[in-house]
Amino acid sequence: MNEMTKPQLSQHAYSDAAKKALSRRPALFINNEWVWPKTDATIAVIDPSSGKEISRFVDASDADVDRAVAAARTAFDDGRWSDLPPIVREAMMHKLADLIDAHADEFAELEAIDNGKPKGMAAAVDIPGAVGMLHYMAGWASKLGGDLIEPMSAPRGAYHSYVRREPVGVAAQIVPWNFPLLMAVLKIAPALAAGCTLILKPAEQTSLTALRLADLVAEAGFPAGVINIITGNGHTAGDRLVRHPDVDKVAFTGSTEVGKIINRTATDSLKRVTLELGGKSPVIVLPDVDIAEASGGAAGAIFFNSGQVCIAGSRLYAHRSIFDKLLEGVAGAAAFWAPRPSLDPAGHMGPLVSSEQFDRVMGYIEAGKKAGASVAMGGDAPPSDGGYYVNPTVLVDVKPDMSVVQEEIFGPVVVAQRFDDLDEVAKSANDSCFGLGAGIWTRDLKAMHTLAAKIKAGTVWGNCHAMIDPALPFGGYKQSGLGREQARQGVEAYTELKSVIIKL
- Which residues are marked as active site? 276, 310
Lay out the sheet containing 272-276: strands in order across: 33-35, 28-30, 227-229, 197-201, 170-174, 249-253, 272-276, 481-482
Burial bucket for residue 372 (CB in 10 Å: 0-12, 13-18, 19+): exposed
In angstroms, the CA 234 to CA 248 distance is 19
In angstroms, the CA 332 to CA 126 distance is 27
User: Computed from CA positions of residues 257, 260, 262, 268, in that sequence, does the dihedral angle turn out positive or negative?
Assistant: negative
Tell me the CA distances in angstroms from 288 to 315, 326, 445, 451, 463, one per residue in order.
Answer: 19, 12, 11, 15, 12
In angstroms, the CA 118 to CA 12 distance is 12
Residue 51, by phi and psi: left (phi above 0), alpha (psi -120 to 50) or beta? left
Do the strands 249-253 and 170-174 form a parallel or antiparallel pair, or are they unpaired?
parallel
Q: Please enumerate in sequence order all residues whose Cβ is within 8 A of that of 428, keeping only pairs 6 or more positions apart, or say none.
A: 282, 317, 400, 417, 419
In angstroms, the CA 57 to CA 24 distance is 8
Type of residue at 469 = D
Under 8 Å between Cβ of 173 and 190: no
Under 8 Å between Cβ of 179 and 127: no
Q: What is the DSSP letter of 26?
A: P
Side-chain half-sphere CA neighbours of 327 within 13 A: 23
End-to-end CA distance of the chain: 82
Q: Please enumerate in sequence order all residues whose Cβ is within 8 A of that of 46, keeping only pairs 6 or more positions apart, or say none.
A: 52, 53, 54, 205, 354, 355
User: Computed from CA positions of residues 215, 219, 224, 228, in that sequence, does the dihedral angle turn out positive or negative?
Assistant: negative
